[in-house]
Amino acid sequence: MRRGEQSSMESNPGVAQKHGAAKVRYIVLLAVPPAMELDIAGPMAVFDAVNRMDGVGLRQYETELVTTGTELKVEGLSGLCMAANRHYRDVRKEVDTLLVVGGTGARTTGDAALLAWLREIAVRVRRLGSVCTGAFLLAEAGLLDGKRATTHWACAQELASRYPRVTVDSNPIWVRDGNVYTSAGVTTGMDLALGFVEEDLGGEVALAAARGLVLFLRRPGGQAQFSVSLSTQAVRKSSLFELQVWMVENLDRDLSVEGLAARIAMSPRNFARSFVRQLGITPARYVEQLRLEAARRRLEQTEMSLEEIASACGFGSAEIMRRAFVRCLGIAPARYRGHFGYSAARTSPARLQ
């Protein structure tokens, strides 16, 4: 959008002017070529959206792309080539937030000078984060040791294997551990950036930015990266596939290990072992994820009460469902519906606070 064009967010100056006097926050995105283009463009678009919401001259964020290449070119994995603002060693300003973007470069580099620079700057920034496989670079520098972190689900096992001191959780779209933030694949960099905006300026501004970018609504960090049903498609030819289909269609039935084992004529012990071997998850955890996924769909698409949803999805009560949501997703069902329910788009941002 050109400066002379009016955005939908600039038409809401009341929200933005409340924060107009705040100190400009210097956000640095570090890219080691080749890098994922959207890991760069996505977060930058979020910060720019907030700046445009505030109007000309009232920036909340100053963003720069820095790189390891001496020619200041960042080759993209999809074929684009971007120009960095400066070499990482030339960063002189006080950095508020350093965000390492993903790509083959971040995943494989062992540049000792870069790792030393990361360790040095990490103690000075307010926030340190990564998008997608940018977590590998933070881990290589030792900055994720003893911390919980995430990355793209397809790379989570590799991250855990290479860096055993890191507690890798492949489920959430982003994770915060102290002042260190890691996000999952690609578009979740925008979710993380919106999380930063909410921390800095409040949920009203973050929601306005999300809507201005035509992101349906912000996703909380605890939301799962992908469907549990999709995650187990690889076992389509296994002896458990028909049982999986039946489970999805009968979430309100007895889905205990004993009940499931009896259905396919196996002993409970043998069934549990076979289930973990073929699906990589315990039956109890799998059932919980199926029920959570079904409950989320109903919260998003229907006006059923929480008790009705809990009963239909096999939780037994709304309180049991609430505890499962908070434990696994980090958000209560009522608040989840406020964010993602089909009527949420018609709700003013202020009402979600």
3-state secondary structure of 224: strand
Structure tokens at 263: 């259905």
Q: Strand 61-67 vs strand 86-87: parallel, antiparallel, or unpaired? A: parallel
Highest average pLDDT, of 19-28, 54-63, 172-181, comes from 172-181
The single residue listed with the structure tokens 């958000």 is 331
**Domain definitions of the chain by residue range:** 13-212, 228-344
Give CA angle at 94 (116, 125), nearest 5°: 55
* Residue pLDDT, tens place only, 183-209: 998 888 998 998 899 889 887 788 788
Task: Give 173 or 234, the one with higher predicted confidence.
Answer: 173
**Sequence letter at residue 104:** T
Does pLDDT of 336 surpass 90? no
29/42 Cα distance (integer angstroms):
11
Task: Give 20 or 290, the one with higher predicted confidence.
Answer: 290
**How is domain 13-212 classified at the CATH fold level?**
Rossmann fold (3.40.50)
Does pLDDT of 98 surpass 50? yes
Q: Strand 97-100 vs strand 25-31: parallel, antiparallel, or unpaired? A: parallel
What percentage of residues in the chain have a pLDDT greater than 70?
82
Looking at domain 228-344, its CATH architecture is Orthogonal Bundle (1.10)
- pLDDT score, position 353: 24
Structure tokens at 253: 């039935």
Does pLDDT of 20 surpass 50? no
Q: Give residue 4's Cα distance to chain centre.
A: 33
* Residue pLDDT, tens place only, 283-323: 999 999 899 988 988 887 788 999 999 999 999 999 999 99
Contact between 241 and 279 (Cβ < 8 Å):
no
Mean pLDDT of the chain: 84
- What is the rounded end-to-end Cα distance, in angstroms, of the chain? 29
Q: What is the DSSP letter of 76?
A: B
Within this chain, domains 13-212 and 228-344 share the same CATH topology = no
Contact between 142 and 176 (Cβ < 8 Å):
no
